[in-house]
Amino acid sequence: MDLKERLNQILEALRQRGHRITPQRMAVLKILAESKNHPSVESIYQQVRQDFPTTSLATIYKTVTLLKEIGQVLELGFADWGSRYDGNKPFPHPHIICTKCGAIVDPDYASMQEITREMARKSGFAISHHRLDFFGLCPKCQSG
Amino acid sequence: MDLKERLNQILEALRQRGHRITPQRMAVLKILAESKNHPSVESIYQQVRQDFPTTSLATIYKTVTLLKEIGQVLELGFADWGSRYDGNKPFPHPHIICTKCGAIVDPDYASMQEITREMARKSGFAISHHRLDFFGLCPKCQSG
DNA sequence: ATATGTGCAAATGGTTTGCAGTGAG
DNA sequence: CTCACTGCAAACCATTTGCACATAT
């Protein structure tokens, strides 16, 4: 999805609910709207500080939490490496995670809907979303 | 897998590496060897305390961490609800999680290997394991 | 006998919260 | 003007660590 378009979606969702667009918040939104690298809170913090040096970690957390609540960011919680965020594709989708360098990429994969339907039928659950992660070494780390 | 057999596997893995089998540890192992309910550390703690009231949380954590290190327990880390553990099937497999009551069940599903191969081919990653979670309401919670 | 495991208490670290001051709408 | 947001510091809480004692082997 086009970054500017995605950013506008997020802005619109915030405005609809009466939330304000501050410079710090805008900086976070921009990072999350691209977020091809699925950044951590700490990573977002470091980036935002380049433009707004007084920004606090708490502000990043508050913004990310808000976006989570209104469904504008997808949280990937890992037991060992903390959470990573995807604001570009905030809906459930597969990920491939490099266990060495921590890179997270989105493979293209379409048939999850079929699998989800099959799961629901067999289990009796009313399935609302899913999460599928593959772990391994990315091409770069395989030669390291 | 048969519970007694699974327990023996874990015991064997511990003995091989020179770890001792204490009563407290045995209690944890038994719980994890069945673990159809994918217990949390706190839940394991409460159960163990029924038989060994002086057991400390730290001991549970240490045992679970040890089992994780030797690959005898699978950790499911959730950003919002902490970690849950599966010592009965310590290898990657799908889960269905009730977002209301927190129940976690294992559906039977075989074709993950195909999907994993396909993923590896398309991404260039050397995939070592995966994780697939479906979230929704279990049959019981749908009528609640 | 020996060194691994236990249990307690303290430390840790990521995340959240309270609150006074700031600024977007 | 108002009320949501920011930034700081303190609070939180799950998990980890240090250490003296206990005990499995």
DSSP track, A98-134: ETTT--EE-----THHHHHHHHHHHH--EEEEEEEEE
- For residues B70 and B14, is the Cβ–Cβ distance under 8 A? yes
Residue B1 has pLDDT above 80, yes or no: no
A72 touches strand D (CB under 7 A): no
A40-82 residue pLDDT tens: 999 999 999 999 999 999 999 999 999 999 999 999 999 999 9
Which pair of tokens denotes residue B79?
Answer: 């950003």
pLDDT at residue B112 in the model: 85
pLDDT digits (tens, 9 = 90+) for A119-138: 999 999 999 999 999 999 99
Minimal-distance CA residue of chain B relative to A94 = B132
- Pairwise CA distance, residues B98 & B107, whole Å: 13
Nucleic strand C contacts from chain B, 5-64, CB < 7 Å: 18-20, 22, 24-25, 52, 54-56, 58-59, 62-63
Q: What is the mean pLDDT of residues A6-19?
A: 97
| Averaged confidence pLDDT in chain A | 94
Q: Which residues of A touch B76 (CB under 8 A)?
A: 79
Is pLDDT larger for residue B113 or for residue A7? A7
C-beta of residue A65 within 8 angstroms of C-beta of residue A34 = no
Q: How far is CA B91 from CA A55, A115, B11, B87, B94, in A?
A: 42, 20, 17, 9, 10
pTM of the model: 0.92
Q: Region B76-85: what's the mean pLDDT? A: 94
Q: How far apart are CA A47 and CA A87, in angstroms?
A: 15
Task: Specify the amino acid at residue B23.
Answer: P
Is the CB of B82 within 7 Å of strand D? yes
Q: What pLDDT was estimated at residue B141?
A: 95
CA–CA gap between residue B102 and residue B97 (Å, rounded)? 6
- Asked whether residue A144 carries a pLDDT value surpassing 80, the answer given is no
Q: Which residue has the higher pLDDT, B1 or A90?
A: A90
pLDDT for A109 beyond 90: no
Return the SS3 of B76: strand
Asked if residues B79 and B13 have their Cβ atoms less than 8 Å apart, the reply is no
- Give me the residue from B108, B126, B137 closest to A136, CB to CB: B126
Q: How far is the CA of B38 from the C1' of C1 (A)?
A: 40
pLDDT class of B35 with cuts at 50, 70, 90: confident
Bridge-based pairing of strands A94-98 and A104-105 is antiparallel
Task: Please tell me the predicted confidence (pLDDT) of residue A5.
Answer: 94
Nearest CA to B21 among B35, B34, B8, B11? Answer: B11
